A and B are shown apart, each in its own frame.
Chain A
Amino acid sequence: MNEKPILELNNLSKVFPVKGGKKVHAVNNVSLTLNKGETLGIVGESGCGKSTMGRTILKIYEPTSGQIIFNGRDITGLSRKQMLPYRKKMQMIFQDPYASLNPRFTIGDIIEEPMIIHKIGTPEERKAKVQDLIETVGLKPDHIRRYPHEFSGGQRQRIGIARTLTLQPDFIVCDEPISALDVSIQAQIINLLERIQKETGISYLFIAHDLGMVHHISHKIGVMYLGNLVEYGSSDDIYKNPLHPYTRALISAAPIPDPNQSRAKSRIILEGEVPSPLNPPPGCAFAGRCAHATEECRRKKPEMVDFEGRKVACFLYAAD
């Protein structure tokens, strides 16, 4: 596979000020690389900053510090106008198929809009393209004149995918695209995304909390906890042999849809819950729930280290 990166994050951080002069470090010094034609899965529990990171990459939120390098060019400081040509190349699929389509637009309008904004093609060409895309995502041509509320969740999600494809992007942030869908529909969306990747060589940043699906679709996986990237490596490595105690717990806690494996598996049941991002612990964010935590973990933040071909932020693997 072509190992050229389409996206690089260097120490990306996003801080939100909140009432009372406090700050929430939603994304904390995250460095990642996504190669062309590959999928990078981001997993973590609610509030771990994975969605904020996706939105910051697309500059829906302005990054606080760090760098976003897209296709070899630093886009961190670009203004909204300067971003416009890049918008064609980077797109987003949203979590909630009910909220992500304008209820007053027909399906045809929704899919055509990106072309109107970027002044692409004549009206006839645009109509033809819409027809094309509708078929690509498995809907019928006569659906073009219908309104979003007439469709089911899975159908709407496919419409959302068609909209992102209009501009033929190189990179799509998929922000929990399947978590609001029924089980039998999730696989449809995953297969559609995979098919598109095979045909166009597009790259995905796939954000989800369902580890099974992330493992299935991703080439690499990054695990986040409370705004920090704790482990990052190839999909199989992370899934089969997790190193960071949090990754281990996360994978072990995920219910397996197989009774025998489920019985055979010994579970790590974590104590407690994710601490509030308003006052995160001073050392390792996970120290409070970690079985291996030492004094050092509670005081000092572990650095990302290379370990057996992947990166992990834990003192257990720090070379000393």
Chain B
Amino acid sequence: MDDREAILFRKLEAEEKNDEFIAVESQTFLQAAMKNFRHNKRALAGAVILLIVILLAIFGPMISPYSYETQNTALKNAAPSAAHWFGTDKFGRDIFVRILYGARISLMVGLVAAIINLVIGTVYGGISGYIGGKTDMLMMRIVDIIYSVPAMLYIVLIMLIFGASVTSVMIGISISSWIDMARIVRQEVRSLKEQEFAMAAFVIGASDKRILFKHLLVNTVGQIIVTVTLMVPQAIFTEAWLSFLGVGISAPLASWGTLAQDARALIEIYPMQTAYPMLAICITIFAFNFVGEGLGTALDPKAKR
């Protein structure tokens, strides 16, 4: 028994104690966010749906035997069947394929608008927030002026000048929607630059460019990603709405909005023809919102621990 006591009461060597032990597992910011995101069922469902929609939009039309413009007068307003999953429209065109083509246009409009917002908004907001003072004042008043004109007006004007095309819709949507992004980034940068790590970067001699991009904007990535994710459905919605009103993309190209518009005349006889594109819009927008919301919690720095 004495042996045992000796073993138990042996003094520990310094190496055995590990007093600088760090219990938490090391993971990068994105790893942590991914883990959090994966535990969020709604966000995960949204991401899966989005993936399916995107894959369908890319590959669906390639595989399908129908094209979006081939008319088949023998088969007008057909009910859904094995050959035509969603039936055909008043010109005998396959609605399913037209919705897949619509997805291409809608998603592209959404993505391009979001990217334009991302670039302009981040840089503009970042610079405005970082420089502060009079420059910030001036830059924000410019933004206010742009914002005070209804977005619709820009779109209609651009359509008038450049004609109704996918490009003008994209430009029209982007022209005022980057402002939200700029405002969010500016706010974040303004509060971050007061933090001591920004001051530390200044003291070691970092240039303004380095402080803004490497220290401040990097820390707004979470906010930016969330905002972008939520901007895509907004743009999709605006495009659909424009096309539905008839100022957006014109035939024979089909976005979800134009599909709904085309089917509107027959809504009392063939309500499903309007319902399909609307459903597509709903599902996609929901999916984006779920993903955005999930990213929001996953990337929130305050949610740590």
Pick the residue among B26, B202, B204, B218 that contacts A147 (CB under 8 A). B26
Encoded as 1 (CB less than 8 Å from any A CB) or 0, chain B from 157 to 179 comes to 00000000000000000000000
In the assembled complex, the Cα of A118 lies from the Cα of B204 at a distance in Å of 9
**Chain-A contact segment, one of B51-59, B65-73, B192-200, B249-257:** B192-200
Indicate if the CB atoms of A99 and B206 lie closer than 8 Å.
Answer: no
Q: Tell whether B303 is near chain A: CB-to-CB under 8 Å.
A: no
Size category of the binding interface on chain A: 35 or more
**Shortest beta-carbon distance from B243 to chain A in Å:** 41
A176 to B203, CA, bound (A): 16
- The answer to whether residues A150 and B218 also contact, given A60-B202, A87-B204, A114-B204 and a CB cut-off of 8 A, is no
Question: Chain A residues with Cβ under 8 A from B196's Cβ?
Answer: 94-96, 99-100
Is B76 positioned at the interface, with any CB of A under 8 Å from its CB? no
User: Is B219 interfacial (CB 8 A cutoff)?
Assistant: yes
Residues of B within 8 A of A117 (CB): 204-207, 210
Interface size class for chain B? 20 to 34
A146 contacts partner chain B, Cβ-Cβ < 8 Å: yes
Question: What is the minimal beta-carbon distance from A42 to any residue of chain B, in angstroms?
Answer: 18
Majority secondary structure, A binding face: loop
Interface string of A23-57 (1 = CB under 8 A from B): 00000000000000000000000000000000100
User: A163 and B204: CB pair below 8 A?
Assistant: yes
Q: A104-B219, A155-B20 are in contact. Are A92 and B200 (CB under 8 A)?
A: yes
Give per-residue flags for B176-220: 1 if the beta carbon is below 8 A from chain A beta carbons, else 0.
000000000000000000011101111111110010000100110
Whether the pair B26, A94 counts as a contact (CB closer than 8 A) is no
A58 in contact (CB, < 8 A): yes
Query: Complex: how many Å from CA A131 to CA B25?
Result: 21
Q: Is A91 an interface residue (CB 8 A)?
A: yes
Q: Do B215 and A102 touch (CB < 8 A)?
A: yes
Write the chain A residue with the least CB distance to B23. A150
Q: Does B22 touch A at the CB level, under 8 Å?
A: yes
Please tell me which stretch of A136-144, A216-224, A308-316 contacts chain B, meaning at least 4 of its Cβ atoms lie within 8 angstroms of it: A136-144
B218 to chain A, nearest CB (A): 5
Selected from B26, B28, B199, B204, the residue in CB contact (under 8 A) with A113 is B204
Q: Mark A71-86, 1 if CB is under 8 A from B, else 0.
A: 0000000000001100
Name the residue of chain A whose CB is nearest to the CB of B22: A150
Which of A87, A88, A94, A163 sits near B199, CB closer than 8 Å? A94
Interchain CB contact under 8 A, B204 and A150: no
Inter-subunit contact B200/A100 (CB<8 Å): yes
State how many angstroms separate the Cβ of B119 from the closest Cβ of chain A: 20
* A92, B199: Cα distance in complex, Å: 9
CB pair B24 A58 closer than 8 Å:
no
Chain B minimum-CB-distance residue to A152: B22
A214 close to chain B: CB less than 8 A: no
B234 to chain A, nearest CB (A): 28
B199 pairs with A118, CB closer than 8 A: no
Known: A103-B219, A113-B204. 12 other contacts (CB 8 A): A55-B199, A60-B203, A83-B205, A91-B203, A92-B199, A102-B219, A104-B29, A104-B218, A117-B210, A118-B205, A140-B20, A163-B200
18 A–B contacts, CB within 8 A, in A order: A60-B203, A87-B205, A94-B196, A100-B197, A100-B200, A102-B219, A104-B221, A117-B204, A117-B210, A118-B205, A140-B20, A143-B20, A145-B26, A147-B26, A147-B29, A150-B24, A151-B22, A160-B200
